[in-house]
Amino acid sequence: MKRFGTFVELGGANVMECLAGTGLDYVILDAEHGPFSPESAAQMLRAAENRSLTVYVRISSVTRPEVLRMLDVGARGLVVPCIRSVAQVKELVDHAKFPPVGHRGYCPTRTSAWGADAWAADAEAYMAECNRRVSVIPQCETQEALEHIEEIAALPGVDAVFIGPCDLSIDMGIPLQFDNPLLLDAVRRIIAACHANGTECLIFAGSLKVAKKWLDLGADSIAYSLDAAVLSAAYRQAAADFRAL
Ligand code: 3PY
Ligand code: MG
């Protein structure tokens, strides 16, 4: 089934509780553009887990501390923006996955109930389970990443690729032109690279009209809009409807 998610920019445990049970398959807590630390992310993760909502975190760069801290507070995946090279993705996988895939640093944090979960008792089982539950999701939103997308999508440890059509179109010199044939070709190429490797392809859409376009091209999942945009659009509409009563 095609998965449906959204970005969380507003943050807070209450927002996670509101979004859980709405039919969303996942949310992406945005620590690239949003003001979130591992400490605030941990509180939101608790609220989300309590209501079985899957949370990925978009980190701001590929550094060992950023990767480890967001995974250790319990992120079920990392979306990683502005990738420009295959080497960067290899480094990301190396930080995020335990052997035999990478070299993630070991510490039984809240992911395993501070080591209390049964699967955490055995080191091999712990590492295998952490590798299974964490999705590594590099973004394709630069021309450099596009040029190497076949290699990136095939890397061991890459679980999915996320297309950022806004930044990709800007980088291609056709800003936010979602109907431009050059962008459509790029999106087709990324989706094909993912599917050649059995890798899920996620993409952002600011509207359901654009979402339909990406689904028709074969995208597996839509990250639809942002919590803040959906909230303010709903109030704008309600206020307009109220004035018309
Ligand atoms: C983009 O479209 O550039 C994104 O990163 C979506 O959030
Ligand atoms: Mg982007």
Domain assignment of residue 39, given as a range: 3-97+134-243
130-143 pLDDT tens trace:
999 999 999 999 99
- Is the per-residue pLDDT at 111 higher than 90? no
pLDDT band at 118 (very low <50, low <70, confident <90, very high): confident
C-alpha 182 to ligand 1 mean position (Å): 17
| Distance in angstroms (rounded) separating the CA atoms of residues 9 and 61 | 17
pLDDT band at 39 (very low <50, low <70, confident <90, very high): very high
List the CATH number of the domain containing 171.
Answer: 3.20.20.60
122-132 pLDDT tens trace:
999 999 999 99
Give the total number of structural domains in the chain: 1
For ligand 1, atom 5, the nearest C-alpha belongs to: 164
pTM of the model: 0.96
The rounded percent of the chain whose pLDDT value lies above 90 is 93
Establish if 216 belongs to a structural domain: yes
Write b or e for each residue in 40-54: b if 16 or more Cβ atoms lie within 10 A of its Cβ, otherwise e.
bbbebbebbbeeebb
Ligand nearest to the CA of 82: 2
Establish if 182 belongs to a structural domain: yes
Residue 176: helix, strand or coil by DSSP? coil
C-alpha 167 to ligand 2 mean position (Å): 5
Establish if 159 belongs to a structural domain: yes
Ligand nearest to the CA of 30: 1
Which of 78, 167, 170, when mutated, tests ligand 1's pocket best, judged by the most ligand atoms within 8 Å of its CB?
A: 167
- The upper half-sphere exposure of residue 242, i.e. CA atoms within 13 Å in the direction of its Cβ, equals 6
149-194 pLDDT tens trace:
999 999 999 999 999 999 999 999 999 999 999 999 999 999 999 9
